[in-house]
Amino acid sequence: MKRLEIKDLHVSVEDKEILKGVSLTVNEGEVHALMGPNGNGKSTLLMTVMGHPAYRVTSGSITLDGQDLLAMSVDARSKAGLFLGMQYPQTIDGVTNSDFLKAAVNAHRDEPISLFTFIRQMDKAFSDLGMKDDLAHRYMNEGFSGGEKKRNEIVQMKLLKPDLAMLDEIDSGLDIDALKIVADNINEMHESNNMAAIIVSHYERFLEYVRPAFAHVLVDGRIVASGGYELVEKIDTEGYEWLKAQNVEFKKEEVPVRVSLGSCAVNQKGRKNGNG
Amino acid sequence: METVSSSQTVVISSSDSQSVSRQFAVQGETYLVMMIEGDRKLDLQLEVRALEGSRMTFLLINHNREEVILHDSYHLEADSESVIAYCQLNDYPLQADGEYHLDGQGASLKVQNAAMTSDNKVFRQNTLHNERNTTANVNNYGIAMKGGSCDFDVRNRIGKGCHGSETHQTSRILTYDSQSRGRILPVLYIDDNDVRASHAATMGQPDRDQIFYMQTRGLSYQEAMKLITVGYLLPVSEVIDDENINSLLRQEIETKVSECLM
């Protein structure tokens, strides 16, 4: 039984408080939609659960089956069963997709996976996601389209078989067919592995495919409404305006800022000639 | 001067002699691998002549367990194609002076250099276009860690009358901690028109967002760093067509990175 419990979580980024007391419980096999206007803390919540060092927990707790998640390293959280499908997946030049996937799979095992088994699993995941075979042998996300990057996140999810997948706008960049394929694969993991999920999305179409049983609206660092799938439908038809009538104060929309840990000046693209 | 015309592996041991001088003339299609071993300081002088129309792949792997002072010079005759790869991943000091003379029309050169150090490694590379229609690409990949330093002093010169030539250089250094140091001096001397030339120099630390991404997939910090480091150095092998030499270089990079980042 995996149970993620977030209690009264306060999180700051560069001394600016983003989450102002979030509480949320996700039980084994539950699928939750997390909605809300841009820049109100949805990604911050997922990044904090996964342990991004730029997000500082100032108070509150996060536990997984009673274990203090905040005391665990990022990789330990992954091994404990968490997965974060990112809004902006990283490009890692020089590291092939297949090498990375194999390293990630092995990190979750006591004994390294046999090459034959790995290739079979990887090929199946690629086929399930309708991805071209050559993407396995290209550098990690290098030259991938936006949609391919997102599908590649789901490939990783399938290979790592998490107990709880946190998917941050995994539907952005996907065309209508890919949207269905990604949703089908999430549903398949949910049904076959009883995988729980927290899905951040702005699009009812995607959530209609996944049909989360629970939905929450996060505004200005607080969950201001929770319910079932009917909440997704309400937001799709009415937007967020109705919350104002309930005295919910909306944060002034800001362009969401991607928090970076600082990047390396060595961009492999720079090795092409002509950068003098 | 030894003539080499196929595949050959040469082992230089500093335990046998601390001052070594070797000369090679390369003809036809040639794959030459040089391994430096031993546990004493070594002064190594190399002279290589790529004869007209030859195709040479040369890989130098430094395993010496003491300082190496390397002077290597190459004379590339007309229509020769040369790939020169260095694998300087041992953890001892190095001073390397490389001279690459493109002496004949149509000569082409690729230099691929992988260096990793927690000590001090200094590279001075002079590429001299002495004839027209010659091409050179010099690529350096350095890593300085644990207080080490890595210097690339890279000079490409296209002389007077050498129009139609093309010269490029790229140098990159990753520093793994605040105590480590990198220095790149990219210089282009162009003394004729109708040439193409470029230089690129980048320096920085490993991208922590990439490391975080890998950690979210269960890799430890060390495992992530190993993958990133191997990925950073592996492009050195990309220009080597020969499968055996390519595989040797890849294996060497993977082994040394694992050892250094244990």
pLDDT band at A276 (very low <50, low <70, confident <90, very high): very low
| pLDDT interval class at B238 (50, 70, 90) | confident
Q: pLDDT category, A267, cuts 50, 70, 90?
A: very low
Q: For chain B, what are the domain ranges? A: 2-205
Which pLDDT tens digit goes with each residue over B29-40? 999 999 999 999
What pLDDT, on a 0 to 100 scale, did the predictor assign at position B114?
95
- ipTM beyond cut 0.85: yes
Residues 158-197 of B with CB under 8 A from A: 168, 170, 172-174, 186, 188, 197
**Span A237-246, pLDDT tens digits:** 988 888 887 7
- pLDDT value for B6: 83
**pLDDT digits 0-9 by tens, B202-232:** 999 999 999 999 999 999 999 999 999 999 9
Contacts of B238 (CB under 8 A, 6+ apart): B112
Give the CATH number for residue A16: 3.40.50.300
| Chain A contact probe: residue of B184, B214, B228, B258 with most A CBs at under 10 A | B214
Q: Which of residues 83-102 of A touch B (CB under 8 A)?
A: 83-84, 86, 89-90, 92-95, 99-100
The helix or strand, by DSSP H or E, that contains position A42, with its residue range, turns out to be helix A42-50
Are A107 and B202 an interchain contact pair (Cβ–Cβ within 8 Å)?
Answer: no
Number of domains comprising chain A:
1
Give the CA radius of gyration of chain B.
18
Whether the CB of B210 is below 8 Å from some CB of chain A: the reply is yes
Q: What is the mean pLDDT of residues A117-141?
A: 93
Task: Tell me if chain B has a CB within 8 Å of the CB of A213.
Answer: no
Domain that holds residue A254: 3-89+162-271
H or E segment and range at residue B244: helix B243-260
Neighboring chain B residues of A77 at a CB cutoff of 8 Å: 216
Report chain A's mean pLDDT, rounded to a whole number: 89
d(CA B53, CA B80): 4
Residue A275 has pLDDT above 50, yes or no: no
Residue A72, domain member (yes or no): yes
B129 touches A: beta carbon within 8 Å: no
Whether the predicted pLDDT of A265 surpasses 50: no
Predicted local distance difference test score (pLDDT) of residue A249: 77
CB contact under 8 A, A95 and B202: no
Work out the pLDDT band at A271, boundaries 50, 70, 90. very low
Residue A256 binned pLDDT confidence (cut-offs 50, 70, 90):
low
Chain B residues whose CB is inside 8 A of the A154 CB are none
Buried b (16+ CB within 10 A) or exposed e, B14-53: beeeeeeeeebbbbeebbbbbbbbbeeebbbebbbbbbee
In A, which residues are within 8 Å of B210 by CB distance?
90, 92, 264
A8 pLDDT above the threshold of 70: yes
Task: Output the pLDDT for position A207.
Answer: 93
Report pLDDT for A253: 56
Question: CB contact, 8 Å: B228 with chain A?
Answer: yes
Q: Does residue A257 belong to the interface with chain B, where contact is any CB pair within 8 Å?
A: no
In a domain, A122, yes or no: no
Question: DSSP string covering A152-185, please?
Answer: HHHHHHHHH--SEEEEESTTTT--HHHHHHHHHH
**Chain A residues with beta carbon closer than 8 angstroms to that of B228:** 92, 94-95
B232 at interface of A, judged by CB pairs closer than 8 A: yes
